[in-house]
């Protein structure tokens, strides 16, 4: 196990990151982005040495497995997750001196990526961005930090974790060996947070923007936008297929968030689950949610109870309709009849 290291970043990052030490702390323009336990007086030179050392550290043990990486653009790869194992998709973005990984994934997949990512680039993973707080996107955080990376997210991700953890962590550890193997009592939070959107990482080769566009799938949904390549990573705010989870959502507001994402006019859309594609993923997700909300609302206004509602969705929604739509209907019904976002109502995770 290596010690945590201190490093400095350009000033725009200092003022927009928050130190995460259990609970969020106030923003401080003078606070350098850092991992704790190292003296603040260390400078940029020692930082470079640290990162070279980190990149050479042996990864956590993992069973070898193919990355199945799809090149989207030069230095940008889409890594499909194994749905049978519950894994989400990952995106790898190459900067001049380091890599950014989108989503920590489950610990099992994180270990695979730590061991194999050198197949894409020899550069070290410096940042891992959690698009939201759900277990298949964030429970691998500690695997990445143990390997020398820094995890970060929008403030709302940590807020969601504080709201639902450690209950969800403990129930997942009872089901999954990879989570249980970490021997942790609570979900590891992202180390660094930002409140102002967008947060930008930029060097001579690439600009990457991290956005919060509003409450959709969760209160903390993060989007990753590469303006020059016109590539958008959506997390689970847009998925490709019947993989929607509505328990933590604001269903009525979700299509508005997707409209803001569509305003970027992306050429490539990289969803949290399902195949990569183009803006049709955003449009399809948006239309399905609008149609679902509208059909349930119409029947509620006609005086029907939940048991009497018969969801009728058009053919255009076929890609997003699960085999059993009853859970989505029940959650939408609760949001409409109780006049609150579904995620604000008491609920469990299934």
Residue 233 lies in a domain: yes
Residue 107 has pLDDT above 90, yes or no: yes
Average pLDDT, the chain: 86
Residue 5 lies in a domain: no
Evaluate the CA torsion angle 204, 110, 159, 346 in order and state its sign.
Answer: positive
Residue 3 lies in a domain: no
Residue 229 lies in a domain: yes
Cβ–Cβ < 8 Å for 335, 235: no
Residue 171 lies in a domain: yes
Q: Write down the pLDDT at residue 320.
A: 98
Residue 68 lies in a domain: yes
Q: Write down the pLDDT at residue 348.
A: 81
pLDDT greater at residue 11 or residue 112 = 112
d(CA 276, CA 290): 22
How many other β-carbons are positioned within 10 Å of the β-carbon of residue 90?
28
Name the residue among 138, 168, 327, 141 with its Cα closest to residue 249.
Answer: 327
pLDDT digits (tens, 9 = 90+) for 3-30: 333 233 333 444 445 444 333 333 333 2
Q: Write down the pLDDT at residue 38.
A: 32
Residue 61 has pLDDT above 70, yes or no: no
Helix (H, G, I), strand (E, B) or coil at 216: coil
Residue 349 lies in a domain: no
Give the rounded percent of residues in the chain with a pLDDT score beyond 90: 79
Q: Indicate the range of 56-70, 262-276, 310-324 predicted with least confidence.
A: 56-70
Q: Which domain holds residue 35?
A: 11-344
pLDDT digits (tens, 9 = 90+) for 124-141: 999 999 999 999 999 999
Question: Residue 173 is part of a domain; what is its CATH number?
Answer: 3.60.15.10
Residue 193 has pLDDT above 70, yes or no: yes
DSSP conformation class of 277: B
Residue 4 lies in a domain: no
Cβ–Cβ < 8 Å for 208, 128: no
pLDDT greater at residue 49 or residue 303 = 303
Residue 166 has pLDDT above 80, yes or no: yes
Domains of the chain: total: 1
d(CA 114, CA 19): 24
Q: Write down the pLDDT at residue 65.
A: 54
For the whole model, what pTM was predicted?
0.84
Residues, the chain: 350
- Which of the four pLDDT bands, split at 50, 70 and 90, describes residue 350? low
């Amino acid at each position: 196990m290596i010690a945590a290291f201190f490093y400095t970043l350009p000033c725009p990052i200092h003022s927009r990151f928050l130190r995460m030490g259990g609970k969020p702390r106030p923003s401080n323009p003078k606070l350098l982005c850092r991992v704790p336990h190292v003296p603040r007086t260390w400078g940029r030179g020692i930082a470079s040495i640290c990162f070279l050392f980190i990149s050479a550290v042996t990864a956590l043990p993992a069973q070898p497995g193919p990355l199945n990486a799809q090149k989207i653009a030069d230095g940008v790869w889409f890594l499909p997750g194994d749905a049978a194992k519950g894994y989400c998709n990952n995106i790898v973005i190459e900067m001049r001196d380091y890599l950014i990984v989108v989503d920590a994934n489950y610990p099992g997949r994180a270990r695979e990526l730590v061991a194999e990512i050198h197949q894409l680039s020899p550069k070290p993973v410096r940042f891992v961005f959690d698009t939201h707080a759900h277990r298949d996107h964030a429970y691998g955080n500690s695997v990445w930090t143990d390997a020398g990376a820094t995890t970060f997210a929008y403030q709302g991700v940590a807020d969601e974790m504080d709201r639902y953890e450690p209950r969800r962590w403990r129930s997942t550890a009872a089901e999954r060996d990879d989570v249980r193997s970490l021997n942790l009592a609570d979900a590891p939070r992202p180390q660094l947070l930002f409140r102002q959107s967008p947060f930008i990482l930029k060097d001579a080769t690439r600009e990457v923007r991290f956005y919060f566009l509003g409450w959709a799938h969760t209160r903390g949904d993060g989007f990753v936008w590469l303006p020059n390549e016109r590539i958008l990573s959506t997390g689970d705010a847009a998925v490709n297929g019947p993989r929607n989870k509505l328990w933590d959502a604001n269903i009525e507001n979700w299509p508005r968030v997707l409209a803001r994402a569509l305003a970027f006019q992306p050429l490539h859309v990289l969803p949290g689950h399902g195949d990569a594609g183009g803006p049709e993923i955003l449009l399809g997700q948006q239309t399905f949610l609008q149609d679902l909300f509208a059909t349930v609302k119409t029947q509620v206004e006609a005086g029907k109870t939940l048991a009497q509602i018969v969801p009728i969705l058009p053919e255009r929604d076929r890609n997003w309709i699960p085999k059993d739509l009853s859970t989505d209907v029940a959650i939408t019904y609760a949001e409409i009849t109780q006049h609150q976002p579904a995620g604000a109502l008491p609920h469990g995770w299934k």
